[in-house]
Structure 1
Amino acid sequence: MEFPGLGKRCGLLECKQLDFLPFKCSHCELVFCKDHFMPDKHMCTHGSVSVIEAGEPLKHYCCTHDDCSTSSSMEMCCKVCNKHFCLHHRHHGCSDTDQMTRDKERSKWEAPKRQFELAKAEADRQVDASLNRAKKKESLNKTALKIQLMRLKGKAAGSKGILVSDRVYFLIYPPLTFPQKSKAVFVAKQWSIGRVIDSVADICDIPNRNNQTTATKLRLFHHHDGQTLCTEMERKLDELLNEGTVMDGETLVLEYVNEKDHDSFCLKCLDQYKD
Protein backbone atom coordinates (compact mmCIF):
# COMPACT_ATOMS: atom_id res chain seq x y z
CA MET A 1 0.00 0.00 0.00
CA GLU A 2 1.47 3.35 -1.03
CA PHE A 3 1.19 6.73 0.72
CA PRO A 4 1.96 9.28 -2.02
CA GLY A 5 1.21 12.27 0.23
CA LEU A 6 3.48 11.16 3.08
CA GLY A 7 7.07 12.45 3.31
CA LYS A 8 9.16 14.82 1.19
CA ARG A 9 11.90 14.31 -1.34
CA CYS A 10 15.38 15.72 -0.76
CA GLY A 11 15.92 19.09 -2.47
CA LEU A 12 19.34 18.05 -3.76
CA LEU A 13 19.04 17.18 -7.48
CA GLU A 14 21.60 14.38 -7.22
CA CYS A 15 19.62 12.77 -4.33
CA LYS A 16 15.81 13.26 -4.53
CA GLN A 17 15.43 10.65 -1.78
CA LEU A 18 11.99 10.30 -0.21
CA ASP A 19 12.37 11.06 3.48
CA PHE A 20 9.51 10.63 5.94
CA LEU A 21 11.32 12.85 8.48
CA PRO A 22 12.83 15.56 6.33
CA PHE A 23 14.90 18.50 7.57
CA LYS A 24 14.39 22.12 6.55
CA CYS A 25 17.45 24.29 6.00
CA SER A 26 17.25 27.35 8.20
CA HIS A 27 18.99 29.46 5.53
CA CYS A 28 17.49 28.60 2.13
CA GLU A 29 14.36 27.01 3.68
CA LEU A 30 14.50 24.01 1.31
CA VAL A 31 13.78 20.48 2.48
CA PHE A 32 16.58 17.90 2.59
CA CYS A 33 17.15 14.43 3.86
CA LYS A 34 19.23 13.65 6.92
CA ASP A 35 22.35 13.31 4.78
CA HIS A 36 22.11 16.69 3.03
CA PHE A 37 20.34 19.13 5.39
CA MET A 38 23.62 20.78 6.52
CA PRO A 39 24.48 23.93 4.45
CA ASP A 40 27.83 22.55 3.33
CA LYS A 41 26.23 19.29 2.12
CA HIS A 42 23.79 20.81 -0.35
CA MET A 43 25.95 23.82 -1.32
CA CYS A 44 23.52 26.30 0.20
CA THR A 45 23.44 29.49 -1.86
CA HIS A 46 21.98 31.75 0.80
CA GLY A 47 24.06 34.93 1.07
CA SER A 48 24.51 34.90 4.86
CA VAL A 49 25.81 31.38 4.97
CA SER A 50 29.49 30.99 5.73
CA VAL A 51 30.87 27.51 5.63
CA ILE A 52 33.21 26.77 8.51
CA GLU A 53 36.17 24.79 7.39
CA ALA A 54 37.48 22.07 9.57
CA GLY A 55 40.27 23.25 11.81
CA GLU A 56 43.64 21.68 12.27
CA PRO A 57 43.59 18.43 14.21
CA LEU A 58 44.52 18.64 17.88
CA LYS A 59 48.12 17.95 18.70
CA HIS A 60 49.02 15.28 21.20
CA TYR A 61 52.27 15.36 23.12
CA CYS A 62 53.77 12.05 24.19
CA CYS A 63 55.78 11.73 27.36
CA THR A 64 59.50 11.41 26.58
CA HIS A 65 60.15 9.28 29.64
CA ASP A 66 61.27 5.73 28.90
CA ASP A 67 58.51 3.09 28.98
CA CYS A 68 55.76 5.75 29.12
CA SER A 69 53.16 6.08 26.36
CA THR A 70 50.98 8.71 28.04
CA SER A 71 49.96 11.59 25.81
CA SER A 72 48.22 14.87 26.56
CA SER A 73 46.83 17.78 24.57
CA MET A 74 48.93 20.25 26.60
CA GLU A 75 52.67 20.43 26.36
CA MET A 76 54.53 20.52 29.68
CA CYS A 77 58.22 21.06 29.04
CA CYS A 78 60.94 20.70 31.63
CA LYS A 79 62.70 24.02 32.30
CA VAL A 80 66.09 22.32 32.23
CA CYS A 81 66.00 19.84 29.33
CA ASN A 82 63.00 21.41 27.50
CA LYS A 83 61.37 18.02 26.96
CA HIS A 84 57.73 17.15 27.48
CA PHE A 85 56.81 14.90 30.40
CA CYS A 86 53.48 13.76 31.75
CA LEU A 87 52.32 14.66 35.25
CA HIS A 88 53.49 11.34 36.62
CA HIS A 89 57.05 11.89 35.38
CA ARG A 90 57.35 15.66 35.84
CA HIS A 91 59.97 15.01 38.56
CA HIS A 92 62.19 12.90 36.34
CA GLY A 93 65.49 13.85 38.03
CA CYS A 94 66.74 16.27 35.39
CA SER A 95 67.09 19.13 37.89
CA ASP A 96 68.18 17.00 40.86
CA THR A 97 71.28 18.12 42.73
CA ASP A 98 73.68 16.10 44.82
CA GLN A 99 72.86 15.20 48.41
CA MET A 100 75.29 17.70 49.92
CA THR A 101 73.75 20.60 47.99
CA ARG A 102 70.24 19.52 48.99
CA ASP A 103 71.29 19.30 52.65
CA LYS A 104 72.75 22.82 52.51
CA GLU A 105 69.60 24.23 50.95
CA ARG A 106 67.41 22.43 53.47
CA SER A 107 69.56 23.69 56.33
CA LYS A 108 69.31 27.24 54.95
CA TRP A 109 65.51 27.14 54.86
CA GLU A 110 65.18 25.44 58.25
CA ALA A 111 67.55 27.84 60.06
CA PRO A 112 64.87 30.52 60.75
CA LYS A 113 62.54 27.83 62.05
CA ARG A 114 65.18 26.56 64.47
CA GLN A 115 65.95 30.11 65.61
CA PHE A 116 62.26 30.74 66.24
CA GLU A 117 61.94 27.52 68.23
CA LEU A 118 64.99 28.41 70.34
CA ALA A 119 63.71 31.94 70.95
CA LYS A 120 60.26 30.61 71.88
CA ALA A 121 61.75 28.05 74.24
CA GLU A 122 63.86 30.74 75.95
CA ALA A 123 60.86 33.07 76.23
CA ASP A 124 58.75 30.26 77.71
CA ARG A 125 61.53 29.46 80.17
CA GLN A 126 61.78 33.09 81.32
CA VAL A 127 58.00 33.38 81.68
CA ASP A 128 57.84 30.15 83.69
CA ALA A 129 60.71 31.33 85.90
CA SER A 130 58.98 34.67 86.49
CA LEU A 131 55.70 32.96 87.36
CA ASN A 132 57.46 30.59 89.75
CA ARG A 133 59.24 33.50 91.46
CA ALA A 134 55.97 35.42 91.71
CA LYS A 135 54.16 32.40 93.16
CA LYS A 136 56.98 31.78 95.61
CA LYS A 137 57.10 35.45 96.60
CA GLU A 138 53.33 35.58 97.00
CA SER A 139 53.41 32.46 99.14
CA LEU A 140 56.18 33.89 101.32
CA ASN A 141 54.33 37.23 101.61
CA LYS A 142 51.13 35.50 102.70
CA THR A 143 53.03 33.43 105.25
CA ALA A 144 54.86 36.50 106.58
CA LEU A 145 51.57 38.41 106.74
CA LYS A 146 49.96 35.63 108.79
CA ILE A 147 52.88 35.61 111.23
CA GLN A 148 52.79 39.41 111.57
CA LEU A 149 49.01 39.33 112.13
CA MET A 150 49.47 36.86 115.00
CA ARG A 151 52.08 39.13 116.57
CA LEU A 152 49.95 42.27 116.14
CA LYS A 153 46.96 40.68 117.87
CA GLY A 154 49.00 40.26 121.04
CA LYS A 155 50.05 43.91 121.36
CA ALA A 156 47.73 46.06 119.23
CA ALA A 157 46.01 49.11 120.71
CA GLY A 158 42.53 50.30 119.81
CA SER A 159 39.02 50.98 121.00
CA LYS A 160 37.85 48.37 123.47
CA GLY A 161 34.30 48.73 122.19
CA ILE A 162 35.17 47.03 118.86
CA LEU A 163 34.13 43.39 118.75
CA VAL A 164 36.96 40.93 118.24
CA SER A 165 35.30 39.60 115.09
CA ASP A 166 35.19 43.14 113.62
CA ARG A 167 38.81 44.09 114.34
CA VAL A 168 41.34 44.70 111.56
CA TYR A 169 45.01 44.92 112.55
CA PHE A 170 47.77 47.10 111.08
CA LEU A 171 51.38 47.93 111.85
CA ILE A 172 51.61 51.72 111.50
CA TYR A 173 54.75 53.77 110.78
CA PRO A 174 54.35 57.40 111.94
CA PRO A 175 55.29 60.45 109.81
CA LEU A 176 59.00 61.13 109.36
CA THR A 177 58.65 64.36 111.35
CA PHE A 178 57.79 62.29 114.43
CA PRO A 179 60.71 60.05 115.48
CA GLN A 180 58.59 57.27 116.91
CA LYS A 181 58.67 53.52 116.42
CA SER A 182 56.01 51.63 114.53
CA LYS A 183 52.92 50.77 116.49
CA ALA A 184 50.36 47.95 116.29
CA VAL A 185 46.77 49.14 116.14
CA PHE A 186 43.35 47.72 115.39
CA VAL A 187 40.27 49.41 113.95
CA ALA A 188 36.76 48.33 112.97
CA LYS A 189 36.21 47.02 109.47
CA GLN A 190 32.86 48.87 109.29
CA TRP A 191 34.58 52.26 109.67
CA SER A 192 35.22 54.68 106.83
CA ILE A 193 38.79 55.40 105.77
CA GLY A 194 38.52 58.89 107.23
CA ARG A 195 37.54 57.50 110.64
CA VAL A 196 40.31 54.90 110.44
CA ILE A 197 42.88 57.68 109.90
CA ASP A 198 41.46 59.67 112.82
CA SER A 199 41.63 56.64 115.12
CA VAL A 200 45.17 55.68 114.06
CA ALA A 201 46.38 59.26 114.55
CA ASP A 202 44.81 59.34 118.01
CA ILE A 203 46.35 55.98 119.03
CA CYS A 204 49.80 56.99 117.74
CA ASP A 205 49.47 60.49 119.28
CA ILE A 206 49.96 62.23 115.93
CA PRO A 207 48.44 65.72 115.50
CA ASN A 208 45.49 65.48 113.13
CA ARG A 209 44.19 68.54 111.31
CA ASN A 210 42.20 66.79 108.60
CA ASN A 211 39.15 68.87 109.50
CA GLN A 212 40.99 72.08 108.58
CA THR A 213 40.73 73.14 104.93
CA THR A 214 44.17 74.72 104.50
CA ALA A 215 46.17 72.27 106.65
CA THR A 216 48.20 69.34 105.37
CA LYS A 217 46.27 66.09 105.56
CA LEU A 218 47.08 62.76 107.14
CA ARG A 219 46.81 59.84 104.75
CA LEU A 220 47.58 56.11 104.90
CA PHE A 221 49.96 54.46 102.42
CA HIS A 222 51.07 50.92 101.67
CA HIS A 223 54.54 50.31 103.07
CA HIS A 224 55.58 47.88 100.32
CA ASP A 225 55.01 50.22 97.32
CA GLY A 226 54.16 53.66 98.75
CA GLN A 227 50.74 53.85 97.04
CA THR A 228 47.94 55.60 98.89
CA LEU A 229 45.47 53.30 100.60
CA CYS A 230 42.42 55.20 99.33
CA THR A 231 41.65 58.74 98.18
CA GLU A 232 37.93 58.49 99.06
CA MET A 233 37.63 59.13 102.77
CA GLU A 234 34.01 57.96 102.92
CA ARG A 235 34.71 54.45 101.62
CA LYS A 236 34.40 51.60 104.11
CA LEU A 237 37.46 49.62 105.15
CA ASP A 238 35.47 46.43 104.64
CA GLU A 239 35.14 47.25 100.91
CA LEU A 240 38.91 47.54 100.53
CA LEU A 241 39.42 44.26 102.37
CA ASN A 242 36.97 42.47 100.05
CA GLU A 243 38.67 43.97 96.98
CA GLY A 244 42.09 42.88 98.20
CA THR A 245 43.33 46.50 98.20
CA VAL A 246 44.48 46.09 101.80
CA MET A 247 45.14 43.00 103.93
CA ASP A 248 44.50 42.31 107.57
CA GLY A 249 47.89 42.51 109.34
CA GLU A 250 49.48 44.71 106.63
CA THR A 251 52.11 47.38 107.32
CA LEU A 252 50.93 50.94 106.57
CA VAL A 253 52.50 54.40 106.74
CA LEU A 254 50.73 57.42 108.24
CA GLU A 255 52.09 60.58 106.61
CA TYR A 256 51.26 64.24 106.01
CA VAL A 257 50.61 65.23 102.39
CA ASN A 258 49.57 68.28 100.46
CA GLU A 259 46.64 67.18 98.32
CA LYS A 260 47.42 69.89 95.75
CA ASP A 261 50.73 68.17 95.04
CA HIS A 262 50.57 65.48 92.31
CA ASP A 263 53.05 63.34 94.27
CA SER A 264 50.69 63.13 97.25
CA PHE A 265 49.30 59.79 96.03
CA CYS A 266 52.63 57.96 96.33
CA LEU A 267 55.37 58.06 98.95
CA LYS A 268 59.05 58.02 98.08
CA CYS A 269 62.09 56.99 100.11
CA LEU A 270 60.19 54.14 101.75
CA ASP A 271 63.41 52.82 103.29
CA GLN A 272 63.27 55.72 105.79
CA TYR A 273 60.13 54.29 107.36
CA LYS A 274 61.70 51.74 109.66
CA ASP A 275 62.40 51.20 113.36
Structure 2
Amino acid sequence: MAEFPHLGKNCSLNACNRLDYTPFLCPSCQRYYCGDHRFSHGCSWESECGGTTSGIPSSSSTPIRPFLCAVEDCHRREIVRIECPNCKLNFCLKHRYANEHNCKYLSENGEREHREARWAEIQKKITASQTQEPSKEVTHEVKPKKVLNEVEQRRADRIAVMKLKSKIKVCDIPIDDQIFLIVLNGDERVPIMVSKGIIAALSIMSTIPAVDSGQMCGQNGQ
Protein backbone atom coordinates (compact mmCIF):
# COMPACT_ATOMS: atom_id res chain seq x y z
CA MET A 1 0.00 0.00 0.00
CA ALA A 2 2.83 2.39 -0.80
CA GLU A 3 0.47 4.42 -2.96
CA PHE A 4 -1.72 5.23 0.09
CA PRO A 5 0.65 5.68 3.04
CA HIS A 6 -1.97 7.39 5.18
CA LEU A 7 -4.72 4.81 4.64
CA GLY A 8 -5.91 3.07 7.84
CA LYS A 9 -4.85 3.44 11.47
CA ASN A 10 -2.80 1.39 13.86
CA CYS A 11 -4.60 -0.01 16.89
CA SER A 12 -3.93 2.23 19.90
CA LEU A 13 -3.65 -0.79 22.19
CA ASN A 14 0.08 -1.17 22.86
CA ALA A 15 -0.12 -4.96 22.90
CA CYS A 16 -1.70 -4.97 19.41
CA ASN A 17 -0.69 -1.97 17.27
CA ARG A 18 -2.18 -3.74 14.23
CA LEU A 19 -2.91 -1.74 11.11
CA ASP A 20 -6.66 -1.65 10.43
CA TYR A 21 -8.07 -0.11 7.26
CA THR A 22 -11.50 0.30 8.88
CA PRO A 23 -10.49 1.56 12.32
CA PHE A 24 -12.92 2.30 15.11
CA LEU A 25 -12.77 5.70 16.80
CA CYS A 26 -13.70 5.36 20.45
CA PRO A 27 -16.09 8.21 21.37
CA SER A 28 -14.69 8.29 24.92
CA CYS A 29 -10.90 8.23 24.63
CA GLN A 30 -10.87 9.47 21.02
CA ARG A 31 -8.38 6.82 19.93
CA TYR A 32 -8.46 4.43 17.04
CA TYR A 33 -8.67 0.67 17.55
CA CYS A 34 -8.90 -2.40 15.36
CA GLY A 35 -12.02 -4.52 15.10
CA ASP A 36 -10.90 -6.92 17.83
CA HIS A 37 -10.33 -4.19 20.44
CA ARG A 38 -13.03 -1.65 19.73
CA PHE A 39 -14.88 -2.71 22.90
CA SER A 40 -12.05 -4.31 24.86
CA HIS A 41 -9.33 -1.72 25.21
CA GLY A 42 -9.87 -0.81 28.88
CA CYS A 43 -11.91 2.30 28.17
CA SER A 44 -14.85 3.50 30.27
CA TRP A 45 -17.01 4.21 27.22
CA GLU A 46 -19.23 1.16 27.76
CA SER A 47 -20.19 2.24 31.29
CA GLU A 48 -20.62 5.86 30.26
CA CYS A 49 -23.05 5.15 27.42
CA GLY A 50 -24.96 2.53 29.43
CA GLY A 51 -24.92 -0.07 26.66
CA THR A 52 -27.05 2.07 24.32
CA THR A 53 -26.31 4.21 21.32
CA SER A 54 -26.99 7.44 23.19
CA GLY A 55 -23.80 9.44 23.50
CA ILE A 56 -22.28 7.80 20.42
CA PRO A 57 -21.48 10.41 17.82
CA SER A 58 -23.14 10.00 14.46
CA SER A 59 -20.27 9.19 12.10
CA SER A 60 -19.12 6.50 9.75
CA SER A 61 -17.15 4.88 12.59
CA THR A 62 -20.20 4.54 14.85
CA PRO A 63 -20.99 0.87 15.62
CA ILE A 64 -24.34 -0.31 14.25
CA ARG A 65 -24.70 -3.12 16.83
CA PRO A 66 -25.68 -1.51 20.13
CA PHE A 67 -26.67 -4.63 22.14
CA LEU A 68 -23.65 -6.07 23.96
CA CYS A 69 -23.48 -9.74 24.99
CA ALA A 70 -23.77 -10.30 28.75
CA VAL A 71 -21.23 -13.16 28.75
CA GLU A 72 -18.00 -12.21 30.48
CA ASP A 73 -15.08 -11.64 28.09
CA CYS A 74 -17.46 -11.61 25.10
CA HIS A 75 -17.60 -8.25 23.33
CA ARG A 76 -19.93 -9.17 20.51
CA ARG A 77 -22.89 -6.93 19.77
CA GLU A 78 -26.10 -7.42 17.82
CA ILE A 79 -28.44 -5.00 16.10
CA VAL A 80 -31.42 -6.42 18.00
CA ARG A 81 -31.88 -7.45 21.60
CA ILE A 82 -31.64 -11.22 22.14
CA GLU A 83 -32.98 -11.88 25.62
CA CYS A 84 -32.81 -15.17 27.46
CA PRO A 85 -36.34 -16.15 28.57
CA ASN A 86 -34.94 -17.52 31.83
CA CYS A 87 -32.42 -15.01 33.18
CA LYS A 88 -33.72 -12.05 31.10
CA LEU A 89 -30.19 -10.99 30.08
CA ASN A 90 -29.10 -9.95 26.60
CA PHE A 91 -26.73 -12.15 24.59
CA CYS A 92 -25.14 -12.36 21.16
CA LEU A 93 -26.05 -14.96 18.56
CA LYS A 94 -23.29 -17.29 19.74
CA HIS A 95 -24.45 -17.26 23.38
CA ARG A 96 -28.21 -16.90 22.86
CA TYR A 97 -29.02 -20.43 24.08
CA ALA A 98 -29.19 -21.16 27.80
CA ASN A 99 -26.55 -23.89 27.64
CA GLU A 100 -24.18 -21.56 25.75
CA HIS A 101 -24.11 -18.87 28.47
CA ASN A 102 -24.44 -21.29 31.42
CA CYS A 103 -27.79 -19.91 32.47
CA LYS A 104 -28.32 -20.36 36.19
CA TYR A 105 -31.94 -21.35 35.58
CA LEU A 106 -31.09 -23.96 32.94
CA SER A 107 -31.00 -27.10 35.10
CA GLU A 108 -34.02 -26.19 37.20
CA ASN A 109 -36.25 -25.12 34.31
CA GLY A 110 -35.12 -27.95 32.06
CA GLU A 111 -35.93 -30.60 34.65
CA ARG A 112 -39.32 -29.06 35.39
CA GLU A 113 -40.23 -28.79 31.72
CA HIS A 114 -39.20 -32.41 31.19
CA ARG A 115 -41.44 -33.58 34.04
CA GLU A 116 -44.36 -31.50 32.77
CA ALA A 117 -43.96 -32.87 29.25
CA ARG A 118 -43.85 -36.45 30.53
CA TRP A 119 -46.95 -35.93 32.68
CA ALA A 120 -48.83 -34.34 29.78
CA GLU A 121 -47.95 -37.33 27.59
CA ILE A 122 -49.20 -39.77 30.25
CA GLN A 123 -52.48 -37.86 30.64
CA LYS A 124 -52.96 -37.86 26.87
CA LYS A 125 -52.54 -41.64 26.72
CA ILE A 126 -54.98 -42.16 29.62
CA THR A 127 -57.61 -39.95 27.96
CA ALA A 128 -57.17 -41.72 24.63
CA SER A 129 -57.58 -45.16 26.23
CA GLN A 130 -60.76 -44.09 28.04
CA THR A 131 -62.44 -42.58 24.99
CA GLN A 132 -61.42 -45.31 22.56
CA GLU A 133 -64.40 -47.31 21.34
CA PRO A 134 -64.20 -51.11 21.59
CA SER A 135 -63.20 -52.66 18.35
CA LYS A 136 -66.06 -54.19 16.45
CA GLU A 137 -65.67 -57.74 15.24
CA VAL A 138 -65.75 -58.04 11.51
CA THR A 139 -68.36 -60.54 10.46
CA HIS A 140 -68.57 -61.86 6.96
CA GLU A 141 -72.13 -62.27 5.78
CA VAL A 142 -72.83 -65.55 4.06
CA LYS A 143 -74.53 -64.72 0.82
CA PRO A 144 -77.37 -67.07 -0.11
CA LYS A 145 -76.50 -69.42 -2.93
CA LYS A 146 -78.04 -68.41 -6.21
CA VAL A 147 -80.56 -70.87 -7.62
CA LEU A 148 -79.70 -71.60 -11.25
CA ASN A 149 -82.13 -72.63 -13.92
CA GLU A 150 -81.49 -75.60 -16.17
CA VAL A 151 -79.54 -73.70 -18.83
CA GLU A 152 -77.39 -71.87 -16.28
CA GLN A 153 -76.71 -75.11 -14.38
CA ARG A 154 -75.51 -76.87 -17.52
CA ARG A 155 -73.21 -73.96 -18.31
CA ALA A 156 -71.85 -74.00 -14.74
CA ASP A 157 -71.24 -77.77 -14.96
CA ARG A 158 -69.34 -77.39 -18.24
CA ILE A 159 -67.16 -74.67 -16.73
CA ALA A 160 -66.43 -76.85 -13.68
CA VAL A 161 -65.44 -79.77 -15.94
CA MET A 162 -63.19 -77.50 -18.04
CA LYS A 163 -61.41 -76.27 -14.89
CA LEU A 164 -60.89 -79.88 -13.79
CA LYS A 165 -59.42 -80.79 -17.19
CA SER A 166 -56.99 -77.86 -17.02
CA LYS A 167 -55.73 -79.02 -13.60
CA ILE A 168 -55.07 -82.62 -14.69
CA LYS A 169 -51.50 -82.84 -16.02
CA VAL A 170 -50.48 -86.49 -15.49
CA CYS A 171 -53.06 -89.28 -15.28
CA ASP A 172 -52.96 -93.10 -15.44
CA ILE A 173 -56.23 -93.21 -17.38
CA PRO A 174 -55.74 -92.91 -21.15
CA ILE A 175 -57.37 -89.92 -22.75
CA ASP A 176 -59.71 -92.09 -24.85
CA ASP A 177 -60.84 -93.90 -21.69
CA GLN A 178 -61.52 -90.74 -19.63
CA ILE A 179 -65.02 -89.59 -18.83
CA PHE A 180 -66.02 -86.56 -16.77
CA LEU A 181 -69.09 -86.56 -14.55
CA ILE A 182 -70.86 -84.26 -12.11
CA VAL A 183 -71.46 -85.93 -8.74
CA LEU A 184 -74.02 -84.61 -6.28
CA ASN A 185 -72.70 -84.30 -2.73
CA GLY A 186 -75.67 -82.93 -0.87
CA ASP A 187 -76.28 -79.46 -2.31
CA GLU A 188 -72.80 -79.35 -3.85
CA ARG A 189 -72.06 -80.44 -7.42
CA VAL A 190 -68.50 -81.83 -7.76
CA PRO A 191 -66.83 -82.59 -11.12
CA ILE A 192 -64.88 -85.88 -11.25
CA MET A 193 -63.01 -87.93 -13.85
CA VAL A 194 -63.32 -91.74 -14.02
CA SER A 195 -62.57 -94.52 -16.46
CA LYS A 196 -65.24 -95.69 -18.88
CA GLY A 197 -64.53 -99.22 -17.72
CA ILE A 198 -65.62 -98.32 -14.19
CA ILE A 199 -68.88 -96.91 -15.51
CA ALA A 200 -69.51 -100.13 -17.47
CA ALA A 201 -68.75 -102.27 -14.42
CA LEU A 202 -71.11 -100.23 -12.25
CA SER A 203 -73.85 -100.62 -14.86
CA ILE A 204 -73.43 -104.42 -14.89
CA MET A 205 -73.43 -104.59 -11.10
CA SER A 206 -76.63 -102.60 -10.92
CA THR A 207 -78.40 -105.12 -13.18
CA ILE A 208 -77.54 -108.19 -11.04
CA PRO A 209 -80.16 -107.51 -8.30
CA ALA A 210 -82.80 -107.04 -10.97
CA VAL A 211 -81.98 -110.41 -12.59
CA ASP A 212 -82.07 -112.20 -9.25
CA SER A 213 -85.50 -110.81 -8.45
CA GLY A 214 -86.88 -111.54 -11.92
CA GLN A 215 -87.66 -107.90 -12.59
CA MET A 216 -85.87 -107.71 -15.96
CA CYS A 217 -87.92 -108.44 -19.02
CA GLY A 218 -87.66 -108.21 -22.75
CA GLN A 219 -89.44 -105.94 -25.10
CA ASN A 220 -92.51 -108.24 -24.99
CA GLY A 221 -92.55 -108.44 -21.24
CA GLN A 222 -91.41 -112.09 -21.27
TM-score (norm 2): 0.29
Which structure exhibits the higher relative contact order, with contacts defined as CA atoms closer than 8 Å and separated by 6 or more residues?
1
In the superposition, the TM-score normalised over structure 1's length comes to 0.24
